[in-house]
Amino acid sequence: MTEASTEFRLPIRVYVEDTDTGGIVFYANYLKYMERARTEFMRCLGFDKPALFDGLQFVVHEVWLKYHNPALLDDQIVVTAVPVNASRVTFEMTQQVFRGDELLVEGRVKLACINAETKRPQGMPKLMSTTLKSQIG
């Protein structure tokens, strides 16, 4: 992440375990790549346990993906995460997967903060909400 941009970039190598028998990344694995980028983005903001912390959890509420081109075995790809909206309970990110300058997949993910015990929506910690809002361009 650079100071001039809220875009977080995570380089990932495509391994055999990520691909089908033709050496093409299995479509659901892009969601895993995007999850990793969001997790590392939150770590860069100072939130080390973004999936489960102090009785709260983040869960995926909505996801939209568009596939343009496949990643292949041994490709070096980059996955981005850009926060675009945040409220007391939810936040949204746009995400993209690139091989060099070539856009492979693009998506938008909305996450909700819930109480880990009741599984009901609950406001995220104020510092987290404020920090996420400050990252929106």
The continuous run of DSSP H or E covering 39 comes out as helix 29-44
Interacting residues of 24 by C-beta distance below 8 A, sequence separation 6+: 70, 71, 72, 73
Token couple for 105: 């997949």
Q: Is 101 a catalytic residue?
A: no
Interacting residues of 50 by C-beta distance below 8 A, sequence separation 6+: 38, 39, 42, 43, 58
Angstrom distance (rounded) from CA 128 to CA 87: 11
* Catalytic residue of the set 20, 48, 74, 101: 20
The residues assigned a catalytic role are 20
